[in-house]
Amino acid sequence: MGENRERLEALRERCLQCRECALGQTRKNVVFGVGNPEAEILFVGEGPGANEDEQGEPFVGKAGKLLDDMLAIIGLDRTMVYITNIVKCRPPQNRDPLNVEQDACIGYLRQQTQILQPKILVCLGRIAAMRLMNPKFRITKEHGQFYDLGTMRAMALYHPSALLRDPSKRPESFDDLKSLQAEINRICDHTRAELRGIKL
């Protein structure tokens, strides 16, 4: 087993026991994250919904299907990237995760990031962008723009759920995906064949 895979697995084991905030009392499953332990691209959403809570996997509902389509537009699939959320347990009624819940959980994402050392961070929606890039982040103005964040290049896409609610945003999101593809081609090393060879 590769070193990243082992370290992620050890972190997942700890995360599954977590009771650091109240979401730990209502969750069915911890949704730690999935993907390629050698991924150079990290996607971060806000938190699990009902389907994710049932299955213990991020983005498995309608929004997840759209995320798969978005990845496919730029020649990627789930086995080539890593996908997780700001909070690992479902907020009741799908409300936004509270700051206190994000604070309790953010250490897991920090450690995931330390292990993966991604080159590109993609925030899915406003909550992730505000937490990871800038508390004043305005998704309607700043989606698709790249920023330097430590050693990473970071950008935000509209959340797939926002694109389901408001399909008029889809053309802009398509342009954002094309910018993401260009940045991936510019700075990522792994060939797609290589990443496919590193099985989930």
Binding site for ligand URA (CB under 6 A): 45-49, 52, 58-59, 63, 85, 161
**Residue nearest ligand URA (C-beta atom):** 45
Q: How many whole angstroms from its chain centre is CA 14? A: 19
Give the position of tokens 């994402």.
109
Token couple for 41: 């691209």
* Shortest Å distance, C-beta 36 to ligand URA: 17
Q: Which is nearer to ligand URA, 103 or 188 (CB)?
A: 103
CB of 64 to ligand URA, least distance (A): 6
Q: How far is the CB of 189 from ligand URA (least distance, A)?
A: 28
In the bound state with ligand URA, the residue whose beta carbon lies nearer, of 12 and 190, is 12
What is the C-alpha separation between 138 and 13, in angstroms, rounded? Answer: 35
Smallest gap from Cβ 49 to ligand URA, in A, equals 5
Nearer to ligand URA, 63 or 121 (CB): 63
Helices (H), the chain: 3-16, 23-26, 50-55, 62-73, 99-116, 126-132, 139-142, 160-165, 170-187, 192-197
Report the 10 Å Cβ neighbour count for 185: 10
Kindly tell me which of 119 and 131 has the beta carbon lying closer to ligand URA. Answer: 131
